[in-house]
């Protein structure tokens, strides 16, 4: 594949409080074309494992798909916490009501590079301390918090009910699944 792609112009089409839409003019082999890209500050997700070896999940409504989904705690990196770890710590407290003494990075992945530059930083949190939830927004206020055993997490994956990408990454990490089956 030729690496002669080059972005030669950018035009902001829309700006929201979370993301922007940018039209990029790209050249390749003497031709130019446009691609619309969602510019996103990045996001975080947390695999929180308690002392009973259970993983913390939430069930929460998502307007984008008009469904209640199983998720691990997650959120957008914002102006108050440019650092992904600080954002992960904030989301863990907001959504599960816990803080953690031990943090490690699981992975950093592009969410959908065909249309957004969003990077998801996935962390593991252990040595948890229960502080009480501080939900932000109506969806989080209505969210249900659940702590799943390894058997319950495996059943959720096997049933096909883990249809959120970061949840799938998180549960596979929790279960020690490193194959692609």
If asked whether residues 57 and 139 sit together in one domain, one would say yes
Q: Label residue 145 exposed, middle or buried (CB < 10 Å: 0-12, 13-18, 19+).
A: middle
Has residue 1 been placed in a domain?
no
Q: Where are the alpha helices (H) located in the chain, listed in sequence order?
A: 84-96, 138-142, 150-158, 165-175
If asked whether residues 94 and 167 sit together in one domain, one would say yes
Q: How confident is the model at residue 180 (pLDDT cuts 50, 70, 90)?
A: very low
Question: Do 143 and 135 touch, CB atoms closer than 8 A?
Answer: yes
Has residue 48 been placed in a domain?
yes
Mind telling me the catalytic residues? 144
pLDDT in tens, 29-63: 999 999 999 999 999 999 999 999 999 999 999 99
DSSP structural state of residue 153: H
If asked whether residues 125 and 102 sit together in one domain, one would say yes
Domain residue limits at 12: 6-39
């Amino acid at each position: 594949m030729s690496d002669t792609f080059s972005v030669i112009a950018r035009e902001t089409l829309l700006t929201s409080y979370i993301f922007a839409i940018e039209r990029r003019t790209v050249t390749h082999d003497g031709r130019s074309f446009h691609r619309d890209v969602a510019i996103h500050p990045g996001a975080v997700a947390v695999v929180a494992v308690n002392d009973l070896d259970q993983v913390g999940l939430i069930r929460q409504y998502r307007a984008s798909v008009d469904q209640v989904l199983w998720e691990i705690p997650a959120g957008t990196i914002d102006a108050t916490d440019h650092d992904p770890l600080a954002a992960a710590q904030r989301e863990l407290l907001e959504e599960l009501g816990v803080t953690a003494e031990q943090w490690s990075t699981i992975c950093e992945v592009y969410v959908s590079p065909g249309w957004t530059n969003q990077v998801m930083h996935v962390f593991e949190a252990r040595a948890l301390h229960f502080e009480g939830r501080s939900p932000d927004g109506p969806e989080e206020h209505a969210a249900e918090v659940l702590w799943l055993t390894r058997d319950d997490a495996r059943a959720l994956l096997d049933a096909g009910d883990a249809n959120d990408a970061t949840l799938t990454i998180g549960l596979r990490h929790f279960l020690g699944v490193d194959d692609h089956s």
